[in-house]
A and B are shown apart, each in its own frame.
Chain A
Amino acid sequence: MLSSPEQDSKIGSSPDSLPVSGESLTIEQAIANLQGEDPGLRYYAAWWLGKFRVREPAAIEALIAALDDEDNRTESGGYPLRRNAAVALGKLGDSRAVQPLIHCLDCSDFYVREKAAQALGTLAESMGENTALRTCIPKLMQLLEGGIDAAQPIPGSPHLAQPYSATMEALGDLGATEAIPLIEPFLEHPTELVQYSAARAMYQLTKNSIYGDRLIQALKGDKLQLRRAALADLGAIGYSSAADAIAQTLAENSLKLISLKGLLEYQVKNHPPESSHLSDAAIHIMALMDDLL
């Protein structure tokens, strides 16, 4: 489940977003900071390079190097800089990042494994059917081994043994149909968010509306957190039958708009308008969006 980029309730009660950029950096500065001594500046620079889509070779190389960082550690042994570098590389669409990210799937830090899986899924959007990228599929499938028996909640731990949600979503984004038998059992996982990730991936891999409809059902759930997650998932798969349910669910308009944007773009990309006239489905989605502004 991706956390939403912006929620209306982030800062106090204001209908809010974060400022466009915390501080202004130049590209040269960001690359220099990433390789510097100051852990705070390095961490911020990694995020910044991804956020502003800096695709320069020097930036890519510095971010790949940051995936092996040993200096920036949390008390429990986590690697914050590696996590940020993985996220940034996912956004930059450079094939050189694939092998280093696959390597991160073995990292001792759960959150590095999670961000690396997400990054590989994100790369699928920019790199498409790239054969170099597809080499990550067997490794991602390994993370799902043991099925839901191995994926039971761990008392006292905020997360499961592996980043199952991120892994299934990545496999869905990669169109890894060979992973269907591994993903399907997770539809029965005790945690809703994991079920949703499985439904999302199953829909992408089979195009069977059963799985999209499960996510529509999730929009009727009683927890706001879960409805937000289902909105993000439906937007990601572009399930156009969900348009009305998305518009009606109880959640922030910003999130509904982002979700409907996903549906709209999916429509336009996959059903190119004939003679430049828009499809009825696309027009309907936009009418719903107009009302949510």
Chain B
Amino acid sequence: EGIPTLIAVLSYNNPGAAVAAVDGLVKLGEMAVLPLLNLIDDYNYGGRAWAIRALAGIADPRALETLLAAAETDFAMSVRRAAVKGLGNLRWSKLADEEIQPTQARVLNTLLLTCQDPEWVVCYASVVALQTLATIVKVTQPDSFWNIRNHFEQILNTDVDLAVRTRVQLALQQLQQDSVVVSNSHNS
């Protein structure tokens, strides 16, 4: 049972070791979720930040509240970035059916907010996460799908960061291709 050891390493003030421990915890997956959530209450910010990265990698819905809060408010951009990525990759199948749509709506709201983060990399991560979400909700919640698409169109007209704009272009292109595939499969 290496989980307590790996979690202890997160608070050692050694970035190299912490990165390795996060990788290990992500590989262990859902059994590491509760011990990590307990660490989040810790006073040690460093340990907490690495724990959020591990939770983002595992993307278990039990970490939802933590990831939402970190994506919107953590002061370290690399923690916001990781939290956003985790929200995009959330394992929806682990939620009860009736939970899925309301949770997706909450995640969508947060990602629309983090799209406006002052750091380009958090915006970039938000675009990637929104693209994933758009693909997932396309059939179940067409309104959300179009909400994301419209938001992407808006960013193209406003966002000053070239890398973010280019990533939005790619997202729109890929969502378009998905649509073509979907409509073709309908016709066949």
Interface residues of A (CB under 8 A from B): 6, 8-9, 11-17, 19-20, 252-254, 257-258, 261, 264-265, 268-269, 273, 276-278, 282-283, 286, 289-290, 293
Contacts and interface: CB of A to CB of B under 8 A. Distances in A.
A268 B166 contact: yes
B115 interface: no
B128 A15 contact: no
Contacts, number: 90
Contacts of A258: 121
Given A269-B162, A283-B170, A290-B128, A16 B78 contact: yes
Contacts of A293: 81-82, 84-85, 121, 124-125, 128
A12 B128 contact: no
Contacts of B78: 6, 8, 15-17, 253-254
Interface in B38-93: 45-50, 53, 75-79, 81-82, 84-85
A9 B78 CA distance: 11
11 contacts: A12-B45, A12-B46, A13-B12, A13-B15, A13-B46, A15-B15, A15-B79, A253-B78, A286-B167, A286-B170, A293-B125
A15 B53 contact: yes
Interface residues of B, number: 37
Interface in B105-139: 118-121, 124-125, 128
Given A293-B81, A293-B82, A15 B170 contact: no
Contacts of A278: 166, 169-170, 173
A121 B39 CA distance: 46
Nearest to A16: B76
Interface of B: 10-15, 18, 45-50, 53, 75-79, 81-82, 84-85, 118-121, 124-125, 128, 162-163, 166-167, 169-170, 173
Contacts of A265: 162-163, 166
Contact of A14 (B76, B121, B162, B163): B76
Interface centre among B11, B13, B81 (most CB of A within 10 A): B81
A93 B38 CA distance: 49
A6 B85 contact: no
A122 B163 CA distance: 19
Contact of B46 (A14, A253, A257): A14
A254 B120 CA distance: 11
A17 B74 CA distance: 10
A246 to B, nearest CB: 14
B86 to A, nearest CB: 10
A211 to B, nearest CB: 24
A180 to B, nearest CB: 29
Nearest to A289: B124
A227 to B, nearest CB: 13
A142 to B, nearest CB: 35
A283 B173 CA distance: 11
A15 B167 contact: no
Nearest to A260: B163
Contacts of A13: 10-15, 18, 46-47, 50
Contact of A6 (B13, B47, B77, B125): B77
Nearest to A250: B16
Interface centre among A12, A19, A269 (most CB of B within 10 A): A12
Given A12-B46, A286-B166, 14 more contacts: A8-B78, A9-B15, A13-B13, A13-B46, A14-B48, A14-B76, A14-B79, A15-B78, A17-B77, A17-B119, A269-B162, A277-B173, A278-B166, A293-B128
